[in-house]
Every structure is written in C-alpha cells, then in structure tokens.
Amino acid sequence: MFFPVDPRADGTILHTGNLAAKSSSGYNLNSLFVGSEGTLGLFTEITLKVYGIPEYTMAARAVFPSSEDAVNAVVSILQAGIPIARSELVDARSIQQVNHYNGTSYKVAPTIFLEFHGNEAGLNQDVGFTKELFSDHGCREFIFETDSKGVHQLWEARHNLAYAFIHGTSGKKMMTTDVVVPISELASAIHDARLKLNELGIDEALLGHVGDGNYHAILMIDKNNPSEVKIADQFNQHIVEYALARGGTCTGEHGVGIGKKKYQKREHVEAFDLMLLIKKTMDPKCLLNPDKIFDKY
C-alpha cells in the first residue's frame, strides 16, 4: 500500500516537548531527535532541565593493583546501591601523562576518581562503606580531596587528559575508541583491551566512565603512517566487535557519524531498517546531514 508522504525537511518548526515533568501524551519525539546527529532536523531552540548544585560534595582518588580490580570495586559499590555522582577509571599510563601535564604527583597506578553528592552525614556513611568495599578489591590508597582546590585539580586533570596526550606526544594524533558493555562484562572487557593494547607497539592508554560500562582506549598515531593507522583501525574494530558480541553498543557517547556507519546494521539488525525508514520518511531528499549514520541515498 502506498500513501502520500509529507516531506518534513521543509523548514517546519516543531516543538517536541513541553514544560511538564512527565507526559504520556503522544509519541516521545524529544528522545527521537536527541542523538539523531542532525539527520532528522536542526535544533533551533533548546529548553534545558537544570539541576541545583549539591549541598555537599566529596571527591577522592582510589589506587588499585590493576584496572580490573578498580572496575570490580566500582561494580561492587553500584551493586550495593551507593549513589555515586562520578566514577572515572584512569590507568597508570594516563596518570603519568596527567602528572606531566598538570604538575600533580598522583601515584602512577590504576586509579578511580570518584565524586559523591548529598548531605554531609549521608556522604560520610556512603564514603565509609565505599572504602570498605574498595579495600576488599585491593585498594591500596584512598585519598580524599578535602579542599575545593584539590577537588578542582582532580577533575581538571581528568578533563585535560586528552590535551595532555595531544600536547605530550609530538607529531602524533589521538584516536579514541568508545564502546559500552553491560556492567557485568566490564572487568573482562578492560582486561581484554589491556592485553590487546600491550601488543600494539604504540603509545596508548585506557580510561573510562566505569559506572556506565563505557571505556575508551587512547591511541597516539601518526596519521600519515599507514601502518599505524591500520593498527589503530584494527584495534577499534576488535573493541567494537567485542562489545557487540556481549550485548553492548558500538558508541557510548561519541556518536556514529561516518566512522561507525558500518556497525549500525550489525548492532540494530531489523531495527536499523526501521531507523532508515524513519529517516527516509522525514527527509525524503536526504538534505539533513547527509551520509551520517546512514549512507547517502
């Protein structure tokens, strides 16, 4: 059966949400547009839901014998239901680069950067429990950043990590992987990635937003050297296939763009055909960010 398609890529302005905290009215178009990478429309105006600054914040560094121990420790606090605001794995090579770039002197070993939000009494109890669970996973040092300068320095070091590698590795460019595995698979995934990285013979590091099961490998390569580009591409291919084979996703936050188009059908199977159908319905002439997520048609 055929019916006339009303082409959407025609300048129509839609409001895809409202000011209600919840709604069961009609389809959830907000979620359809968010993450569509400009392939369904352009955002001309965005209303943000904002969150207050927490009453009390505690930040800490916890040092572990291995990245797998660090991951298992974070999984144990998730399983215990302790609410953590942030938990970032920074491996030994990354800590080295952090120290070099930021002038810090953090111990060069796999480390979890942590942050807790809440009220003071509740956080003291949560942090005490966290320390106990972490020590069960071999945590050697659990260091609080007690003043705002220390907290700021900790997160600045984490945020500057990419720059630390870019500025610290002359003549190389950074290539980053970005997958998510189920939390139960994360420690094995980090272990597998570490073994693979050790074989590459290029400067690399491993880090991740471990509370989400999302991890990144950083590979420093000369993009004019086909052999290094190939090593990085093969490693990325391995990481993506590893994640997809375990029910994960080929990209946790960096998006599909051009580079991960080739994994879309494999990850989504029949659902990919529906995504393409929606794209073609809303943008029949392929005007909106063509060739991203889907091949140009």
Among residues 136, 152, 247, 262, the one that binds a copy of itself under rule CB under 8 A = 247
In sequence order, what are the residues at sequence separation of 6 or more whose Cβ sits closer than 8 angstroms to the Cβ of residue 279?
A: 39, 40, 293, 294
Q: How far is the CB of 123 from a copy of itself (least distance, A)?
A: 7
The encoded tokens of residue 4 equal 């006339």
Q: x/- string (CB under 8 A) for a copy of itself, residues 101-140?
A: -----------------xxxxxxxxx--x-----------
Q: How far is the CB of 168 from a copy of itself (least distance, A)?
A: 28
Part in contact with a copy of itself (CB under 8 A); list of ranges 10-18, 98-106, 152-160, 166-174: 10-18
Q: How far is the CB of 130 from a copy of itself (least distance, A)?
A: 11
DSSP letters, 237-253, are HHHHHHHHHTT-BS-SS
Looking at the Cβ atoms of 150 and 255, the one nearer to a copy of itself is 255
Looking at the Cβ atoms of 81 and 171, the one nearer to a copy of itself is 81
Backbone φ and ψ of 42, nearest 5°: -105, 145
Instruction: Please state the length of the chain.
Output: 297
DSSP letters, 168-218, are HSTT-EEEE--EE--GGGHHHHHHHHHHHHHTT-S-EEEEEEGGGTEEEEE
- Tell me the three state secondary structure of residue 159: helix
* 182 touches 213 (CB < 8 A): yes
Among residues 192, 212, 222, 241, the one that binds a copy of itself under rule CB under 8 A = 212
Q: Is 27 in the site for a copy of itself (CB under 8 A)?
A: yes
Looking at the Cβ atoms of 138 and 284, the one nearer to a copy of itself is 284
Looking at the Cβ atoms of 32 and 143, the one nearer to a copy of itself is 32
Q: Is 263 in the site for a copy of itself (CB under 8 A)?
A: yes
Q: How far is the CB of 36 from a copy of itself (least distance, A)?
A: 6
Interface with a copy of itself in residues 30-59 (CB under 8 A): 30-32, 34-36, 40, 52, 54-55
Q: How far is the CB of 103 from a copy of itself (least distance, A)?
A: 33
Part in contact with a copy of itself (CB under 8 A); list of ranges 58-66, 169-177, 194-202, 281-289: 281-289
Which residue in the block uniquely carries the two structure tokens 């990635």? 193
Q: How far is the CB of 190 from a copy of itself (least distance, A)?
A: 15
* Burial zone of 32 (CB within 10 Å; 0-12 exposed, 13-18 middle, 19+ buried): middle
The residue among 132, 130, 158 whose CA lies nearest residue 58 is 130
Q: Is 13 in the site for a copy of itself (CB under 8 A)?
A: yes
In sequence order, what are the residues at sequence separation of 6 or more whose Cβ sits closer than 8 angstroms to the Cβ of residue 250?
A: 179, 240, 243, 244, 256, 260, 263, 264, 267
- Tell me the three state secondary structure of residue 145: strand
Q: Is 292 in the site for a copy of itself (CB under 8 A)?
A: no
